[in-house]
Amino acid sequence: MELLSSWIQNIILFILLSVVIEMLLPRSDMQKYVRMAAGLVLLILILTPIMKLFAVDGEELMERARESIASIPAAGNDIDAKKKEIQARQDAYILEQTAFRLKEAAEKGLIGQFGFRFDEIEIELKKGDGNIPGDAEKIRAVLAKEEGGREVEEIREVHIGADGDAKRIEEDLRQEIVKYLSEKWEVDSEKLEIVIEGG
């Protein structure tokens, strides 16, 4: 309450003082400037309590500044994490599209020549950035038997009871498929891994 009464006293005293000064000044252009200055000072006197309410302590302001500066690296880490997540999604999408294109390029011939279709294609990239599939470390293709796949059945000699021959025939078939896919995809045959389901 004392603060309010002192505030009102200051305003009244200033108004009285400015009236007295205005009466003492001769009538001239100077009187306009004195009135304007007195009006500004009066405005400041009226607004002083309001400004005190919104005044912020200097120490508190410095503490807030320190906290906001300390939060900047944390925000940077969050941005880096989001950037890495977006990059991982983009890489996964590129790998998926590349696998689809590889399948599209070779599946008709694979069905026609060998009687197999692609069940799955996985691409593993070398560490670091690079173009796909040139920088692929390994391309793994899982093949499944296609019903009615071969256009012309190849006649092969079959030995009943010869387990070693069956493995050799399967390995020869796998090597033929590797050679075919290597040429079709323009990839080194060492980078190809072929898995035949049920084989």
* Sequence ranges of the domains in the chain: 2-54, 100-196
| Residues above pLDDT 90, as percent of the chain | 0
143, two tokens:
């093949």
pLDDT of residue 151: 46
How far is it, in rounded angstroms, from Cα 169 to Cα 31? Answer: 115
143 close to 110: Cβ distance less than 8 angstroms: yes
pLDDT tens-digit series, residues 77-134: 777 788 888 988 888 888 888 888 888 888 888 888 888 888 888 888 776 555 554 5
| Residues above pLDDT 70, as percent of the chain | 78
* pTM (2 d.p.): 0.50
Amino acid code (one letter) for 67: E
Please, what is the average pLDDT of the chain? 78
The conformational region for residue 115 under phi > 0 = left, psi -120 to 50 = alpha, else beta, is left
Of the candidate ranges 57-61, 105-109, 182-186, the one whose mean pLDDT is the lowest: 57-61
Where is mean pLDDT largest: 128-132, 147-151, 156-160, 177-181? 177-181
